[in-house]
Amino acid sequence: MPTSTPTPVKAAPKGPARRRCGAPGCTTKIPAGHIMCGPDWALLPALLRRNVHYAHKGRELDRDSYRAALRQARRAVQAAKNRITTPETARA
């Protein structure tokens, strides 16, 4: 570890740094470190959830896998929502 450069410590806000849910069209605020809000996360198949979870953990090492997993998750959520809100897929 380089000790010469002092790390600019910007006092991280104590409260949870909030960010937007990763699901498409969802504006729910979620704590940093989370990927999606609870309801959206619950829409994901268990396997995909695990996938994303592990990819998220290792995102520093393998960003591509994380992005791919995230994209898959977004799609799954979108598909699940479409199924719930609009029975017929009215998409060009």
Q: What residues make contact with Zn ion under the rule CB under 5 A?
A: 21, 23, 26, 28, 37, 40
Q: What's the closest the beta carbon of residue 45 comes to Zn ion, in angstroms?
A: 16
CA atoms within 13 A on the CB side of 10: 1
Q: How far is the CB of 79 from Zn ion (least distance, A)?
A: 14
Cross-strand bridge partners of residue 30 = 19
User: If 0-12 CB within 10 Å is exposed, 13-18 middle and 19+ buried, where does residue 47 land?
Assistant: exposed
Rank residues 25 and 62 by Cβ distance to Zn ion and give the closer one: 25
In the bound state with Zn ion, the residue whose beta carbon lies nearer, of 39 and 62, is 39
CB-wise, 29 or 62, nearer to Zn ion? 29
